[in-house]
Amino acid sequence: MCGIAGYMGSGDVITTILSLLIELQHRGQESAGIVVATRGGEIHRVVGKGLVVEALNNEKISQLRSVDEIVGGIGHVRYSTSGGYLDSQAQPILVGDENFKMAVAFNGTIANFFSMAKLLGIVDADGDAKVLATFLFRLAKEFGNDVVEALKVLPHYVVGGYSIVVLTSEPRIVVARDPHGFRPLAVLHTGSDFYVASETAALDIVTGHLWRWREVLPGEIISYDGSSLEFTKSPISTPISPCVFEYVYFSRPDSVFNGVSIYVARVRMGEELAKAAPAMGDVVVPVPDSGRAAAIGFSRASGLPLEEGIVVNKYVGRGFIAPPRSREIISRLKYGFIKSVVSGRRVVLIDDSIVRGTTMRSIVRRLREAGASEVHVRVASPPFRYPCFMGIDVASREQLLAWRAMGLDEIARALNADSVGYNTIEGLRKAVGIPLICHACFTGLYPFKGLDADALEKMFIR
């Protein structure tokens, strides 16, 4: 998972992209970068480590502001799914030769990047971003520097998921979603301004043009050169399989994905959860922020009162997308507990998902320390049992609590909870309300013909 953004138009390119990246900060906190293009075809790049405000500090932004005649740019916030936490993987990635240059930023994972690197003759590939950018550049060269034509055939070579934004030295911005449509992407075109962002909420907030965006369709390619928009579709088609985890956790609740409000889907997940795994309790308490909407749904459907018993420190960051060594510290520092809400009560604790179990174990322990008489954990999605190769950093089953544990009792023991209950796949489907979704991390059914978790793991981990 990462966030991508872009803008071409008559406004302040740098401020617009910075603002979009800040609104997408929840999608990646390890690095951020911006590349701008000038009217004359020069390309300038700044990247850095950490949050947008740290990575793109005043010094770096001043460097960009000294560039004349900027007409457009793209940006990226990174959450690494491949290539570890290497500086060399910070995006956008620059590729090119003396005639044609381009910058590439993407959200997703390329599971077969080692084999793509081999085709390029790269022997020391250290992550998917550089390989994808180099591959796309080579394809564009074959089509006479045409990125649209390159993006049309790219799905033929890729196993994985990507939403992508490319800035060329022409200059032009080209955006695309892979034919499966795993990751979100939306554009907004008003007059001479063209905006792109991973999530619709970023476009609403930054442009002020509420609900004027349009989601990029799976397999669609949109190109803007400052005056005309061009819409194309990759001829490589496949059944769509957007990531259900975008609804469960990744996306902001004020975003829309495939026409479905993330918030509404989460509330419905809570309602379905109350039916699938009811709990005897006195109070429903959400794990903030990601469990909040599902807790509203659970409370409505169960009739149990909803109260805020846990306070989140938003400055600590998202534990799930943090590097492994930081996760335990984050889960300790991130939450405060309201004794008067939980003390002496049977708490029904609602979260969106349990992946590794690190955070949940720590929350249950501290609820007990705050005086909760019982803690019943209820999870708005099914048990997370399989790794993802399309955009989240869970590449090995051994990391997953529900894979290691034999059943609900064992999971409850591992979390020190009185009981644990999960949503069902049917409940999740009903909550999201679109017939075709990817749910491979819950079921192991990957939307790639003939590829199971073992085959994908072999392809991805060398």
- Residues annotated as catalytic are 2
440 lies in the binding site for ligand SF4 (CB under 6 A): yes
Q: CA–CA separation, 341 vs 311, rounded Å?
A: 12
Give least dist CB 32 to ligand SF4, A: 23
240 lies in the binding site for ligand SF4 (CB under 6 A): no
- The single residue listed with the structure tokens 């034509």 is 149
Q: Which stretch binds ligand SF4 (CB under 6 A): 52-60, 150-158, 241-249, 317-325?
A: 241-249
Among 113, 182, 224, 448, binds ligand SF4 (CB under 6 A): 182
Among 392, 412, 417, 456, binds ligand SF4 (CB under 6 A): 392
244 lies in the binding site for ligand SF4 (CB under 6 A): yes
Give least dist CB 351 to ligand SF4, A: 16
216 lies in the binding site for ligand SF4 (CB under 6 A): no
Encode 142-163 in three state secondary structure.
HCCCCHHHHHHHHHHCCCEEEE
Strands (E), 97-235: 101-110, 160-168, 172-177, 186-190, 193-197, 214-215, 220-224, 229-233
User: Which C-beta is closer to ligand SF4: that of 220 or that of 246?
Assistant: 246
Binding to ligand SF4 by CB under 6 A, coded x per residue (else -) over 354-383, reads ------------------------------
243 lies in the binding site for ligand SF4 (CB under 6 A): yes
Give least dist CB 250 to ligand SF4, A: 8
342 lies in the binding site for ligand SF4 (CB under 6 A): no
388 lies in the binding site for ligand SF4 (CB under 6 A): yes
User: Which C-beta is closer to ligand SF4: that of 350 or that of 388?
Assistant: 388
Q: CA–CA separation, 19 vs 203, rounded Å?
A: 10
Q: Is the dihedral of CA 92, 64, 221, 435 positive or negative?
A: positive
Q: Cβ contacts of residue 340 below 8 Å, gap of 6+?
A: none
Q: Cβ contacts of residue 387 below 8 Å, gap of 6+?
A: 394, 395, 396, 397, 399, 400, 441, 453, 456, 457
Residue 403 DSSP class: H
439 lies in the binding site for ligand SF4 (CB under 6 A): yes
E strand or H helix that includes residue 369: helix 358-369
Bridge partners of 18, per DSSP, are: none
Q: CA–CA separation, 438 vs 218, rounded Å?
A: 13
Give least dist CB 391 to ligand SF4, A: 6
222 lies in the binding site for ligand SF4 (CB under 6 A): no
As a whole number of Å, the end-to-end CA separation of the chain is 21
User: Which C-beta is closer to ligand SF4: that of 35 or that of 390?
Assistant: 390
Nearest to 335 by CA among 378, 396, 291: 291
Give least dist CB 340 to ligand SF4, A: 37
Binding site for ligand SF4 (CB under 6 A): 182, 243-245, 388, 390-392, 438-441
